[in-house]
Structure 1
Amino acid sequence: MKLPLTSTLLLTLAAPLLASGGPAGAADYVAVPAGRLVTVLSGGNAGNPPVKVGRFAMRTEPVTNGEFQAFIAAHPEWQRGAAPPIFVDANYLRQYDGAEAGDGLNQQPVTNVSWFAAQAFCESEQARLPSWYEWEYVAAADERRPDARKDPAWRARILAWYSQASNGSHGAIGGKPNFYGIRDVHGLIWEWVDDFNALLVSADSRDQGDPEKLQYCGAGAISLQDRDNFAVLMRVALLSSLKGADSTNDLGFRCARSLTKDKK
């Protein structure tokens, strides 16, 4: 999926900030094999033919506050108060206001981070944000199966977290790995994807105002396939409502890398 023209222009403007140095630091990536995905992005097509997902690598855990703080220390142009307003909103990294070492933030996933800042971090470690198909492909797995979405017990477990009211506080990373060896896809935060504003949702979800409220609203799901999988559809509703500079208390990210056949 291609980004709309407005996002392409903004990304061009952001290029000097995105290409701002070498790797942010060592991170664990695992290779995810190629496969086919029956995606929720079907526009209500009952046939819903599967899409191909190429082989790629993904960070095993979301980016943490500790990792992001190291990134902005090395790249002060992305610090709160320094990043241009066109790339971040007023909520950007607000959890750091008044925070001190020992506050327990370091091992928690970073949130209140814009799409532009997330892309800049990923590029600093020679990576990128995952596409929606890549994220959905990994998120379909449980601990034993690559696709557990038809399992009512799995759905109930995922929805139990989605039904909890958020106070902007998150636990530390380090949940059980899923089938691919990737942790915390569910249960901690929402996550940016590269093509967040190209997701096929109903227009009514784009005019709801506060993106925080959309975390528990399924309005955008009415034109999508597999409506029973409400947890994933809520993510689509939230992401499609956002702009690249937006940030929320519960939205973070992890990075991915493209893999060619000769790379392990």
Structure 2
Amino acid sequence: MKKRVDRHSPAFNAHECSCGNPGIGHRVLLEGRAGTKVASSFCEPSAHAVEQAQIPAGNFLMGDASGEGNHADGERPLHQVKLEAFHIDVTSVTNADFAKFVTSSGYRTEAETFGYSLVFHLEYHGPARDVVGRANGAPWWLGIRQADWAHPGGRNTSIAGLEDHPVVHVSWNDAQAYCSWSGRRLPTEAEWEFAARGGLEGRRYPWGDEAVDAGGWRANIWQGRFPERNTLDDGYQNTAPVRSFHPNGYGLWQMVGNVWEWCNDWFDPTYYSVSQTSSPEGPSVGTLRVLRGGSYLCHASYCNRYRNSARSGSTPDSSTGNCGFRTVSSTNDRFWAQRTRSSA
């Protein structure tokens, strides 16, 4: 049985990367999953229409080679990783993609079931009565009643005109439900980083080491003074269409910036010191799931996590206006489906 939660309580807890996923722990008072389970009969692999890129098998040096990483995030030690080939979505899953899933399966996200999600303060223009709280340590994040994937700014907003933007306000559990329906899975953290690098060993960003604004903007991040004023130099206040800017060497769009992306692994800042070399799967247990890539709220002055090696984590039931996902597939997916069910 779920415990009752005071929806008017401001007691949301913020993670250290408060720009990226401030809702850490804001639902830990609730037991069990809230989202509607997707029955196996609703599995429709052919419905996943996102273009694919084949990532070749190979070895790479995983972790922060530049020395710019956040020590508490565990981006070091650098370590060699060997991966088998896999296919990955060239973009994040979009609102249009997620709408197909919801229409087909009848799934309700955790934000819809809980009745609220976290919205960045500059993106909220609704009634004050719908603000159920602010995140402790990150007051620019507001708990907004009836904010969800289809209403990203609250009850009076919609995704009309945003069909090609990444779906947001989706938890790790929601992303897993989509994967169950589509016959896909979330990437491991190692797969995500290998794909993000686009064949460039040891570089900061998917395009290399050049600054994000060198020769024109290369990613959707924050410009200006956070959190009061975004100068919109890159053209976007919040999310951008998934095929904005330029793809990396593997043809993948916006692996950094725009939205954080869920990975399959549990998050542990000490894991790299014990990581296996071949196809690492992350820790066997944990309380947080890995997020990668940073978002439109990242800026070098306070959160430089829009880098290939940057890591963060959030509780599996957390949802915010800057977290989404992309999916992968490989020949080992039957094993991965069994492992994910047993560890969730």
Answer yes or no: same fold by TM over 0.5.
yes
State the match for 2:133 in structure 1: none
State the match for 1:171 in structure 2: 240
State the match for 1:197 in structure 2: 267
State the match for 1:3 in structure 2: none
- Offset of residue 17 of structure 1: 3.2
Q: Distance in 2 between matches of 1:168 and 1:196?
A: 31
- Offset of residue 181 of structure 1: 1.8
Q: Distance in 1 between matches of 2:75 and 2:249?
A: 28
1:29 aligns with 2:62: no
On the 8 A contact 2:111/2:170 being kept in 1, the answer is no
On the 8 A contact 2:109/2:170 being kept in 1, the answer is no
1:38 aligns with 2:61: yes
State the match for 1:97 in structure 2: 155
Task: Please give the secondary structure, in 1, of the residue aligned with 2:92.
Answer: coil
State the match for 1:224 in structure 2: none
- The one of the two structures with greater contact order (alpha-carbon pairs below 8 A, sep at least 6) is 1
- Offset of residue 79 of structure 1: 4.9
Q: Distance in 1 between matches of 2:58 and 2:185?
A: 20
Point out where structure 2 has 5 or more consecutive residues left out of the alignment: 1-27, 65-73, 119-144, 231-235, 272-287, 289-294, 333-344
Task: Output the TM-score relative to the length of structure 1.
Answer: 0.67
Could you say what the CA RMSD is over the residues aligned between the two structures, in angstroms?
4.0
1:17 aligns with 2:47: no
User: What amino acid does structure 1 have at the position aligned with 2:196?
Assistant: A
On the 8 A contact 1:114/1:244 being kept in 2, the answer is yes
Q: Distance in 1 between matches of 2:95 and 2:257?
A: 17
Task: Output the TM-score relative to the length of structure 2.
Answer: 0.53
- Offset of residue 136 of structure 1: 0.8
- Offset of residue 189 of structure 1: 1.6
What aligned pairs does 1:61-72 form with structure 2 within 5 A after superposition? 61-72=91-102
State the match for 1:49 in structure 2: 79
State the match for 1:226 in structure 2: none
- Offset of residue 115 of structure 1: 0.4
On the 8 A contact 1:58/1:257 being kept in 2, the answer is yes
- Offset of residue 160 of structure 1: 6.8
Task: Please give the secondary structure, in 1, of the residue aligned with 2:88.
Answer: strand
What aligned pairs does 1:79-118 form with structure 2 within 5 A after superposition? 79=109, 83=113, 85=114, 91-93=147-149, 94-95=151-152, 97-100=155-158, 103-118=160-175
Q: Distance in 1 between matches of 2:330 and 2:315?
A: 25
Q: Distance in 1 between matches of 2:243 and 2:260?
A: 16
1:231 aligns with 2:306: yes
1:125 aligns with 2:182: yes
User: What amino acid does structure 1 have at the position aligned with 2:239?
Assistant: H
Q: 248-257 vs 166-175, which deviates more? A: 166-175
Q: Distance in 1 between matches of 2:259 and 2:200?
A: 21
Q: Distance in 1 between matches of 2:211 and 2:331?
A: 30
Say which of 247, 253, 262 aligns to 1:183. 253
Q: Distance in 1 between matches of 2:253 and 2:219?
A: 17
Q: Distance in 1 between matches of 2:112 and 2:163?
A: 21
> Relative to total residues, which structure has the larger strand share, 1 or 2?
2
Specify whether residues 69 and 44 from structure 1 end up closer, same or farther in structure 2 by C-alpha distance, changes over 3 A only: closer
Deviations along 1:117-159, one digit per CA (max 9) or x if unpaired, are: 1111122111101111111111122xxx533616431666689
1:60 aligns with 2:90: yes
- Offset of residue 217 of structure 1: 9.0
Q: Distance in 1 between matches of 2:250 and 2:260?
A: 19
User: What amino acid does structure 2 have at the position aligned with 1:54?
Assistant: E
Q: 13-22 vs 167-176, which deviates more? A: 13-22
Task: Please give the secondary structure, in 2, of the residue aligned with 1:50.
Answer: strand
On the 8 A contact 1:27/1:59 being kept in 2, the answer is yes
Q: Which has the larger radius of gyration?
A: 2
On the 8 A contact 2:38/2:181 being kept in 1, the answer is no
User: What amino acid does structure 1 have at the position aligned with 2:105?
Assistant: H
Specify whether residues 147 and 120 from structure 1 end up closer, same or farther in structure 2 by C-alpha distance, changes over 3 A only: same
Deviations along 1:148-196, one digit per CA (max 9) or x if unpaired, are: 6164316666897444357872121213332112222124221111115
